[in-house]
Amino acid sequence: MPKFVASLMCFFAIALPCSAGEPQMQPLFKIGLALTSSRFEQPGQLCHKAVIPKTVSAQISRLLSTIDAPGLKDELGMSPASYAVIADDPVELRRLLKLGYDTSGPFGSLLDEAAFWNSVNVARLLLDRGIDPNTRNSAGGTPLLVAVSEGGPDVARILLGRGAHADTRTLRYALVCKNQYVVDLLVRSGIKIDASTRHAANELNMKLPGNVR
């Protein structure tokens, strides 16, 4: 399990018995907890594409629109900006950044969070604001690795188009997740495929250029 996911699980496990920090953040915290729990319970867990119901995204956006003060955080240290990422709401995220909220969160850059939630619109906004697509979080992972291993294939495509560097570690996560679309994206980016990666692809019944099937 990638360390980004392990950290996320640990944070939520610790926060379960606690209050949700600032009162304005409590309803957002409850939504975030429910969404994260449902992702860990889905078949295949995080390999599958993250999808947030439109009704939930709209609910988050409505709650965010009531926040006009800087410095708010929930028990996990997540700010309203993190919830704008979950809702994939670039309008609210832009407004919150103007209020003084940061482009980093408790799990790394907000770009990591966009990768985790497959939030394509805010990913584009963050990249436009100069967030480095190759920055590493505290676990040593990049946004691309998060996107590939934790349900953000659409964000992976955007990152690759904006200068993210792919490597064999990232490719192996895509193979383990059995996501041929992402495997093909990574291979087309120019990854040098070594013998052990080819062997892993064959063992997992996945296609790589030049594989003997």
> Please, which pLDDT band fits residue 42 given cuts at 50, 70 and 90?
low
Residue showing tokens 């490597």: 167
Domains parsed from the chain with CATH numbers? 3-142 (1.25.40.20)
pLDDT higher than threshold 80 for residue 14: no
Q: What is the pLDDT of residues 179-199, one digit of tens each?
A: 999 999 999 999 989 999 999
Closest by CA to 3, choosing from 153, 160, 145, 152, is: 145
Average pLDDT over residues 95-103: 96
pLDDT higher than threshold 80 for residue 122: yes
The pTM (predicted TM-score) of the whole model is 0.86
CB-side neighbour CA atoms (13 Å) of 195: 0
Alpha helices in 118-194 (DSSP H): 120-128, 143-149, 153-161, 168-176, 180-188
CB 131 within 8 A of CB 103: yes
**What angle (nearest 5°) sits at the alpha carbon of residue 85, between those of residues 34 and 134?**
120
Amino acid identity of residue 145, one-letter, is: L
Structure confidence at residue 75 (pLDDT): 86
Average pLDDT over residues 167-180: 93
